[in-house]
Structure 1
């Protein structure tokens, strides 16, 4: 199913679409656009009954300002409604329409860019999730929406060709997707902004790293550990999507690379990985309030691992931690009280012959999503990558997986950059 989407850099006045200059991205640029939208074009008489929300706000603004002096209609989000009610209404607007909200007035722009609307949506469980994937040989990512079962091509990533060749890590927070890799031998970070449908370079992390753990922690994102040149790191950082900056966090209790992260119980967990040639079975979490790390010995004991294996597959649904074991293709749920794992059956994709590489496993709102090949290695070229989701139950003995289709790419030519956008 294909969805009709409004091209970026357009806005609507009096039921006509107008082109927005390509350089309009910053807050000041959007404010200038709002000014032109509301004051540079007249609204014909007799169109009151079919006004859009944007047009209604414009008309209301002029009615309150008979001298027709340029003002920003910041007196209310929606006329005749209190802000409390208006925000609950606005929170139900799909995330794909948020760029249009930015063009209404500066108050809407601030509401979205500050992350306040995302916070309200999370509190009211207005969650929209999507998966970002990159096929090798292509210069653009694809966004897949399981809810609509639709695909959308993102703009071309304007990086050097060398960026596509190496390992990449990614995470999402707010309206941003960050991808970290190497470009011409140097560490590089690219940022995709969903509101403007555009790529931007940076900001770079305080410490250049690869094979690190990361997690979306609501209003911010955390990264920890990893490898810098040949040095295994115990450092950690916090990314703020509002001011687009990195801040240092206290160091972890263990150095670790090829580890994985997740957010659970309002804490940032880092699990597994390696310290030199030693495989780590311990986990640790960062307490945001106390700003301290706490070690969990033996947290990953039940999971088989090897030096050539992929980083741990972790996903959190309804505050429960799930893991995929690559050697057996089995799903497990973490039992917090006993510090152990419970088996939930075999997943529908094969992970053992690739030791986990080429497989994606993430949370998707109240579901798990997994992408991979369903047959043996000889069948992959014809079968491509299959997409499955399930609604896990930690008290069950098995999970029911729903099939959503296949991509045309084989597992040998597919690089997954799989990130979930919440709220």
Structure 2
């Protein structure tokens, strides 16, 4: 039995002063219209035109970068989904984030490319967990020179700026993470060799209070290494070396993962309409319907894309299956990062079908580079 008298080092973070209230929109956004009507109109404008809109006036520039606009876009269902990818560039020893950008001036032949974002202000992090919540991407833990870290960084995807978030209660590497009900859950990635780590094997972060709290977890499920995670119907799934666990946020109940899902899922995956998609070691894309408890092969996409044997990951981009993978670029010193957008459907017989909307090379990188993560954010 662990002694509660053991002490652990605690970092006291300086209190953050409250943010000043937003200034009134004066002059009006659109002089001939009330601001609420103008907001309703501007919220429907595609985000690629926001840089131009911000040049119209000071009020417009303030609105374009304010949470008010993104709240309105969400309520009006005008939010657009953007793909974010992180690559490990071994030559620089840093993880770099990119976002998929479409040239807005060429609608007849749209060209997609990965645009680099500012470097995360931290040393090289290996084995970080990622979670997207609202308009931010959270980078959780990871090791720095083989030492696990409790650091948390957030990328504000509205402005593409990095901000430090409160540290987790324990250091982690190769943890599982997922966002449910505006909170971030993180499991594992730590050795439960003392009381503090044992109690905090699972934690939850509330961005509103900026606090981490422990999530009670049974002793028998406290594995260290987590190799995959997903959120399906309010449940966070985490896969370890030989088994998987599932945490239902609403009830607080833990369960072991169904053996079929456990045996078939050991890679990067995403969830679309209650189906978990991943690729297997034969190079096929498969989907697991949690309600039916069965794996089904995704059909129809094979003629347009290679079979992924390694180095592929995927994300749910507004209901579309985005697949990103590494490919050779002839005999040169560079490697291609390729991306494909696949529309997935279930037919009347329950079979899964995929139709490729587009596929292209989106970036050339050194051959030593590798894809780390891929996820989508609604803005």
Q: Do the two structures share a fold, i.e. TM-score over 0.5?
A: yes
1:299-378 aligned at under 5 Å gives the runs: 299-301=260-262, 303=264, 311-317=266-272, 319-345=273-299, 348-349=305-306, 351-352=308-309, 354=310, 358-374=311-327
1:239-318 aligned at under 5 Å gives the runs: 239-251=205-217, 254-256=221-223, 257-265=225-233, 267-274=234-241, 279-280=242-243, 282-288=244-250, 290-301=251-262, 303=264, 311-317=266-272
Rate the CA distance shift 1:399–1:110 in 2: closer, same or farther, 3 A.
Answer: closer
Q: CA deviation at 1:407?
A: 1.5
Q: 1:182 aligns with which of 129, 133, 143?
A: 143
Q: Please identify which structure carries the higher strand content.
A: 2
Q: Could you tell me which residue of structure 2 aligns to residue 200 of structure 1?
A: 163
CA contact (8 A) 2:232 2:274 kept: yes
Superposition RMSD in Å:
4.2
Distance 1:287 1:386 in 2: 36
Q: Which runs of 5+ in 2 are unaligned?
A: 1-15, 105-111
Larger Rg over CA atoms: 1
Q: Could you tell me which residue of structure 2 aligns to residue 143 of structure 1?
A: 99
1:20-419 aligned at under 5 Å gives the runs: 28=19, 31=22, 34=23, 56-57=27-28, 80=34, 88-89=40-41, 91-94=43-46, 97=50, 104=59, 112=67, 117-118=70-71, 121=74, 124=77, 126-136=79-89, 137-138=91-92, 140-145=96-101, 149-160=112-123, 163-164=124-125, 166-180=126-140, 181-183=142-144, 185-187=147-149, 188-217=151-180, 219-228=182-191, 235-251=201-217, 254-256=221-223, 257-265=225-233, 267-274=234-241, 279-280=242-243, 282-288=244-250, 290-301=251-262, 303=264, 311-317=266-272, 319-345=273-299, 348-349=305-306, 351-352=308-309, 354=310, 358-374=311-327, 383-395=335-347, 396-401=351-356, 402-410=358-366, 412-419=368-375
CA contact (8 A) 2:30 2:38 kept: no
Q: CA deviation at 1:190?
A: 2.2
Rate the CA distance shift 1:406–1:28 in 2: closer, same or farther, 3 A.
Answer: closer
Cα deviations across residues 84-113 of structure 1 (Å, max 9, x unaligned)? x66644542445749969x749x9699717
* Higher relative contact order (CA closer than 8 Å, sequence separation 6+): 2
Q: Please identify which structure carries the higher helix content.
A: 1
CA contact (8 A) 2:336 2:361 kept: no
How does the TM-score come out when normalised to structure 1?
0.64
Q: Which runs of 5+ in 1 are unaligned?
A: 1-24, 36-53, 61-77, 305-310
